[in-house]
């Protein structure tokens, strides 16, 4: 395109008409100026035609809008003005839709009351230094800690208030944390025991009218321990309450407690009546380390009752006015190698009226297993008692190798009760062998009223009657003996049955060995059987 056309050569660079009347000359246009004007016009036309043709149009003398259309196409891309960024070919700009989506993304998760800048500012208290204000407040907080005390909290429950997390020892005794077993036990009630707890009782004497150990679902984690090497060094002495009574140590509805290392001493007199020394009841399960429990002097020694279970191997019981051990009410007891010493065959104790005016006198006796119960009493000794071992009312007493000395009836089974008192020949397990034994008794083995005694290899020495089955009772007494029986060695009466096979060779000193004669019915349908060897 050419430069700007030069102006006409007049004083004011303007064209003027001439006036012949006044003699004013008109502007003279030179050929040079006109040629320049023509060239400028042609150059401009060429520029316009270039724009039109480059826009895809041919020059059309009839149209007056070709330049406009070319410019619109250049500016808008079409003859219509666009209404969007994309219409102008802008790809990196944000549209209203884009801006709305971005803003919605910021406020979409906010509640209605906090989805504008004004609402946010109000929520921050219109504090332009909000971050600094919060930092200042945080500087006053408690330091990070792992305990309540570390945070300065003194009135909240601690983990130790409701549970035991690690192995714990509760000391009982003078100057200790707890004055009594009862106090230590009660401190655990209501707590979750996640670890074992030892209630360690120091040597000494602890007077009490009764210790009640119950309400503890985690009892299997508790061990109550006195002096296991010398139980008599840690005595629980029963003393009378206001009613002259004491109840001993009672476990009720707790399972798996270990109770070891104690000598419990009671009394049964006109001034003080201890019902028992130790009782396990109501499905409780209690056990002791072997040889660590000693019971003495109460109306009853050990009671396991009401479907409870007690394991007291090598327990020692002496001086009890009534039954030294009672396994009753469907209970189960393990008392292997125990030792029971009574007050004498005919020693009785009158029950005071303040206990029960209708209760008969007590006779010092050994062990009774009744009311569908079970007791294991192997290789034990019972002496100086009115009754030795009694099993009745569909109960089972396993007493292999157990000996009873000085008793009215050493072993007695009746009313569906069963006593197993067999022996064993020498073997690696029993090097010297063993035999059940009744000695110095009125009747050594008595089975009556449907009772059964299995007394294989059992012996009766110095009894009035060694083996006596009566009233449909049954005794299996093969390969044992009866010696020095003052009346009869083996006797059956009243539809009873007695197996005395292999007993003649070892028996001697009896006024009469068999009644009735072997293999001959007699005494109201009774029968003494002897296996006949060809």
Nearest to 29 by CA among 17, 20, 44: 17
Nearest to 264 by CA among 292, 296, 304, 290: 296
What's the rounded Cα separation, in Å, for the pair 438 and 381? Answer: 10
Instruction: Determine the pLDDT at residue 81.
Output: 75
How do residues 25-83 score in pLDDT, each as one tens digit? 888 888 887 888 787 778 877 887 887 788 788 888 888 877 777 777 777 666 677 76
Average per-residue pLDDT in the chain? 90
DSSP secondary structure of 24-67: BPPPPPPHHHHHHHHHHHHHHHHHHHHHHHHTT----TT-S-HH
Nearest 10 degrees: CA dihedral of 235, 241, 247, 253?
A: -100
Confidence of residue 22 (pLDDT cuts 50, 70, 90): confident
How do residues 137-191 score in pLDDT, each as one tens digit? 777 776 777 776 777 777 666 666 678 999 999 999 999 999 999 999 999 999 9
How do residues 284-317 score in pLDDT, each as one tens digit? 999 999 999 999 999 999 999 999 999 999 999 9
- pLDDT surpassing 70 at residue 203: yes
Quick one: average pLDDT of 495-516?
97
How do residues 402-442 score in pLDDT, each as one tens digit? 999 999 999 999 999 999 999 988 888 888 889 999 999 99
Long-range residue pairs from 17-24, CB within 8 A, at least 24 positions apart, any chain: none
Residues 6+ apart with CB under 8 A from 392: 368, 369, 370, 412, 413, 414, 415, 416, 417, 451
Q: What 8-state DSSP symbol labels residue 426?
A: -
Question: Which element (helix H / strand E) includes 459?
Answer: strand 459-461
Instruction: Determine the pLDDT at residue 360.
Output: 92
- pLDDT surpassing 90 at residue 472: yes
Confidence of residue 331 (pLDDT cuts 50, 70, 90): very high
How do residues 38-47 score in pLDDT, each as one tens digit? 877 788 778 8
How do residues 245-281 score in pLDDT, each as one tens digit? 999 999 999 999 999 999 999 999 999 999 999 999 9
DSSP secondary structure of 325-376: EEE-TT-EEE-TT-EEE-S-TT-EEPPPTTT-TTPPPEE-EEEEE-SS-EEE
- pLDDT surpassing 80 at residue 362: yes
Task: Tell me the pairing of strands 278-281 and 249-252.
Answer: parallel
């Amino acid at each position: 395109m050419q430069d700007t056309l030069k102006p006409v050569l007049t004083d004011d660079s303007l064209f003027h008409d001439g006036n012949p009347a006044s003699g004013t000359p008109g502007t003279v246009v030179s050929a040079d100026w006109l040629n320049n004007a023509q060239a400028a016009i042609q150059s401009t036309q060429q520029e316009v035609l270039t724009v039109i043709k480059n826009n895809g149009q041919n020059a059309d003398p009839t149209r007056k809008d070709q330049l406009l259309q070319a410019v619109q196409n250049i500016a808008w891309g079409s003859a219509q003005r666009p209404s969007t960024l994309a219409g102008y070919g802008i790809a990196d700009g944000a549209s209203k839709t884009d801006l709305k989506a971005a803003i919605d993304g910021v406020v979409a998760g906010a509640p209605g009351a906090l989805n504008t800048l004004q609402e946010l500012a109000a929520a921050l208290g219109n504090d332009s230094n909000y971050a600094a204000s919060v930092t200042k407040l945080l500087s006053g907080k408690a330091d990070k800690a792992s305990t309540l005390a570390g945070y300065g909290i003194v009135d909240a429950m601690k983990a130790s208030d409701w549970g035991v997390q690690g192995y714990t020892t509760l000391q009982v005794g003078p100057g200790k944390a707890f004055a009594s077993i009862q106090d230590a036990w009660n401190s655990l009630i209501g707590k979750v025991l996640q670890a074992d707890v030892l209630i360690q009782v120091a040597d000494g004497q602890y007077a009490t009218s009764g210790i009640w150990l119950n309400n503890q679902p985690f009892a299997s984690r508790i061990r109550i321990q006195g002096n296991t090497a010398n139980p008599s060094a840690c005595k629980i002495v029963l003393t009378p309450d206001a009613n002259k009574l004491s109840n001993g140590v009672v476990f009720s509805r707790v399972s798996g407690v270990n109770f070891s290392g104690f000598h419990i001493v009671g009394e049964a007199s006109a001034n003080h009546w201890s019902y028992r020394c130790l009782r396990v009841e109501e499905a409780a399960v209690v056990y002791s380390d072997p040889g660590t429990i000693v019971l003495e002097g109460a109306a009853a020694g050990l009671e396991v009752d009401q479907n409870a279970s007690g394991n007291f191997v090598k327990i020692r019981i002496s001086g009890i006015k009534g039954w030294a051990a009672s396994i009753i009410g469907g209970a189960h007891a393990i008392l292997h190698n125990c030792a029971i010493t009574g007050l004498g065959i005919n020693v009785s104790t009158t029950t005071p009226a303040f206990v029960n005016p209708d209760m008969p006198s007590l006779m010092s006796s050994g062990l009774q297993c009744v009311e569908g119960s079970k007791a294991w009493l192997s290789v034990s000794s019972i002496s100086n008692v009115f009754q030795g071992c009694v099993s009745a009312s569909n109960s089972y007493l396993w007493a292999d190798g157990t000996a009873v000395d000085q008793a009215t009836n050493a072993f007695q089974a009746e009313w569906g009760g069963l006593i197993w008192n067999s022996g064993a020949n020498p073997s690696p397990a029993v090097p010297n062998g063993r035999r059940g034994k009744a000695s110095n008794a009125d009747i050594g083995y008595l089975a009556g009223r449907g009772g059964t005694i299995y007394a294989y290899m059992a012996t009766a020495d110095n009894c009035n009657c060694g083996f006596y089955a009566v009233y449909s009772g049954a005794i299996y007494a093969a390969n044992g003996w009866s010696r020095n029986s003052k009346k009869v060695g083996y006797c059956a009466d009243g539809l009873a049955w007695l197996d005395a096979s292999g007993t003649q060779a070892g028996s001697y000193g009896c006024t009469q060995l068999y009644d009735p004669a072997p293999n001959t019915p007699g005494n109201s349908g009774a029968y003494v059987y002897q296996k006949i060897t060809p």
